Amino acid sequence: MTAAAYKEVIDRALESCLKLEGHPLSGLAESMRYSLLAGGKRIRPMLVLEFCRIAGGDIEAAMPVACGIEMLHTYSLIHDDLPCMDNDDLRRGKPTNHVIYGECTATLAGDALQAEAFGTILRSTLSAERRARCAEHLANAVGLDGMCGGQYLDMLWEGSILSEEQLDEINSRKTGALLTAACQMGVAAAGGTEQQEDSAAQFGAALGAAFQIRDDMLDVLSTEAEFGKPIGSDQQEKKNTYMALYGEEKCERMIARLTQAAKDAICGVFEDTGFLCSLADTLASRRN
């Protein structure tokens, strides 16, 4: 399946989620769906489905897992944009959730999406063991030592001059952990082997590191129309980024090295890695 085909089936599945009309809670559901359906590359659910496929699983049965991780990712974006965090007015080329629905509703929409992410996985038709394994990977990726921990370190060290190791401490959690979990969850949904999960984790970690470096570059080199959110905000807010630490040329070399490491991690463990290798290459040179 192509990336475009994957995105189409994922968008269709997400469209069927969280429909609640004519109910007092419909306003909250509308806020949740606004951000969930606002577009995006759908990389994380795509990784779930493709790793499930190459591990011998059924991608249709894994679709709730794919939807769950996209709900989790969407929650993180809503909260990231809040006035108490990055205070952004634009996301994916559209007004951020709190701009449309207010700060309180946006906060609750993020909270509810986090809960629904786990609920969607745990209500799937996968075996209890596979559901539990997927949920465990997701919890590990977003909790104290995952995405939330990374966000905390980002806030804690704001205004300080950081080393590459400290930047890695933040971004391996804030960005890399959820991408790694997506890969592991795909294998878990298929009932794959421990070796396959380890290989998937290595792919996800390298891909996540390259993805963040590219993000840092795009905040300087892209345009608001291409990137879908304000450009130059990292520099204006004096944030620590790989671009600020190393400059464009070294960042490009780091991305190339990490992209190759991601591809090497899965070759020989999975038989059909063409899609994932192509995806890694595409993300390495993306403009948004």
Cα(51)–Cα(131) distance, integer angstroms:
16
- Please state the domain count of the chain: 1
Q: pLDDT, tens digit, for every residue of 88-97? A: 999 988 999 9
Alpha carbon 175 to chain centroid, angstroms? 7
Q: Is the predicted pLDDT of residue 223 greater than 90, yes or no?
A: no
Q: Write 238-242 long-range contacts (CB < 8 A, 24+).
A: 238/159, 239/158, 240/157, 240/160, 240/161, 240/162, 240/166, 240/167, 240/170, 241/167, 241/216, 242/164, 242/167, 242/212, 242/213, 242/216, 242/217
At residue 237, the pLDDT reads 59
Give me the residue label for tokens 């986090």.
114
Q: What is the CATH number of the domain that holds 105?
A: 1.10.600.10
Could you list the residue range(s) of the whole structural domain that residue 53 is in? Answer: 3-284
The token pair that represents 14 in the structure block: 């997400």
Q: Which residues are within 8 A (CB) of 24 and not within 5 positions of it... i.e. 6 or more apart?
A: none
Report whether pLDDT(228) > 60. Answer: no
Is the pLDDT at 50 greater than 60? The verdict is yes
Distance, C-alpha 50 to centroid of its chain:
15
**Rounded mean pLDDT of the chain?**
93
Q: Which of the residue ranges 53-62, 79-88, 217-226 has the most confident prediction, judged by mean pLDDT?
A: 53-62
Residue 95 bridge partners (DSSP): 90
The predicted pLDDT at position 123 comes to 97
171: tokens are 């971004």
CB 47 within 8 A of CB 59: no
